[in-house]
Amino acid sequence: MADKTIDVVVAGATGAVGRQILTCLEEQKFPVNNIRLLSSSRSAGTELTFNGQRITVEKMEKDSFKGYDLALFSAGGNTSKEFAPVAAEAGCVVVDNSSAWRMDPEVPLVVPEVNPDAVAEYRNKNIIANPNCSTIQMVVALNPLHSEFRIKRLVISTYQAVSGSGVKAVEELHEQTKSCLEGRPVETGVYPHQIAFNALPHIDAFLDTGYSKEEMKMVNETRKIFGDHSIGITATTVRIPVFNGHSESVNIETERHASAETVRELLQNAPGVEVLDDPAGGVYPMAIYAQGKDTTFVGRIRQDDSIENGINMWIVSDNIRKGAATNTVQIGRLLADQYL
Ligand code: 25A
Ligand code: L14
């Protein structure tokens, strides 16, 4: 229903993603009627601004969701496991940013540019999952190639910003950088090693296989979003000392042949994508350029001559925006327009 207004809860409102969700609701002119902001007891009482109004953040409780239509969650996996079913039971549809529900076969995992129709499956549990940031930007860029040429295999290396780990990680990079430059000892907290002037091949926890959970999210979530479990996917995910914006090197093997020129043209017309590809002229996607934008930027598109049907590309997006808040609010919009 086009003219209806929605009563919205933002759970984890004080976090890096939660604050961005508020901005995205404003920017996308989401038809908000009442809005309620929730956090842990640590941040309850904080005042945040939404559409020019000061709103006091409340501690999330089991009865926080009654009478609300839509809850946008970004409060970490454990919080989502505990509270998303409570909100869902109260009749409030949850769009969840954490990894808690993504691989539940009854919960749709949605990127609006790729599988918008999956939103309808929210009815199973009243929960929709928002994918991992690295996965979202990659599938936005790869969807047109998969449709046209069918992707057989992906080899991925990521260069991920610290903002994905929240506000404290941003402060940690800041402090460590200052300490290094001023010759003081470096203190670690969020990350197991110094992140300033370093690269850590370590995001989220390691599994017995030697892969990290972040790497396996890229494998499993990509297959689920494309609805194609035959795609071979292998990833190495790396944290680098960038504040915001994830970059990815992706090697793609397709079933049918695609020239670099055809891929470039295809992506120039793809929703949510902007091609920046004049390397000799210094034009290619960069984290500092993607910062603050909702677009997924693609460049360095070139043939991989080591195999018959191969393409290499470089994909960059703002991990807090399209990788999290923007995508969540877009899913909320699809729900609001069709079902709420
Ligand atoms: O488990 P997952 O799913 O893998 O997710 C792990 C983390 O990833 C982020 C998110 O961090 C999450 O904590 N994340 C989730 N989805 C993401 C995505 N798609 C994603 N990142 C990128 N892409 P975050 O910083 O974005 O958000 C954390 C928010 O969660 C709130 N929260 C935590 N436990 C909660 C809860 N809310 C309700 N109930 C709970 N039980 C959290 O609120 C935040 O809003 P907060 O009140 O705990 O703290 C927010 C502010 O408080 C400051 N702060 C926190 N701890 C301390 C502190 N200050 C001083 N000392 C501290 N010890 C922070 O500065 C922050 O601003
Ligand atoms: O959404 O960068 O599963 O530390 C959890 C790890 C988001 C990024 C998720 C990071 C990720 C986060």
Q: What pLDDT sits at residue 47?
A: 98
pLDDT, mean of each 10-residue run, the chain (340 residues): 84 97 97 98 98 98 98 98 98 98 98 98 98 98 98 99 96 98 98 98 98 98 98 99 98 98 98 98 98 98 98 98 98 97
CA–centroid distance, 75 to ligand 1, in Å, is 5
Q: Are β-strands 127-129 and 47-50 bridged in parallel, bridged antiparallel, or unpaired?
A: unpaired
CA–centroid distance, 181 to ligand 1, in Å, is 29
133 among known catalytic residues? yes
Tally Cβ neighbours within 10 Å of residue 274: 17
CA–centroid distance, 270 to ligand 2, in Å, is 26
User: What does the block give as tokens for 264?
Assistant: 């470039």
Residues framing ligand 1 (Cβ under 6 A) = 11-12, 14-18, 38-40, 42-43, 60, 74-77, 79, 97-99, 130, 133, 164, 166-168, 323-324
Domain 6-131+324-338 class, CATH top level: alpha beta
| Topology of the domain covering 134-319 | Dihydrodipicolinate Reductase; domain 2 (3.30.360)
DSSP-derived secondary structure letter, 14: T
Could you tell me which residues come within 8 angstroms of residue 104 by beta carbon, excluding any fewer than 6 positions away? 125, 127, 129
How far is 204 from 200, CA to CA, in rounded Å? Answer: 11
Q: What pLDDT sits at residue 4?
A: 86
Residue 115 burial by CB count (10 A; 0-12/13-18/19+): exposed, middle or buried? middle
> How do the domains of the chain map onto residue ranges?
6-131+324-338, 134-319
Q: What pLDDT sits at residue 2?
A: 52
202 among known catalytic residues? no
For the CA of 216, the nearest ligand: 2
Q: Which of 24, 92, 133, 146 is catalytic?
A: 133
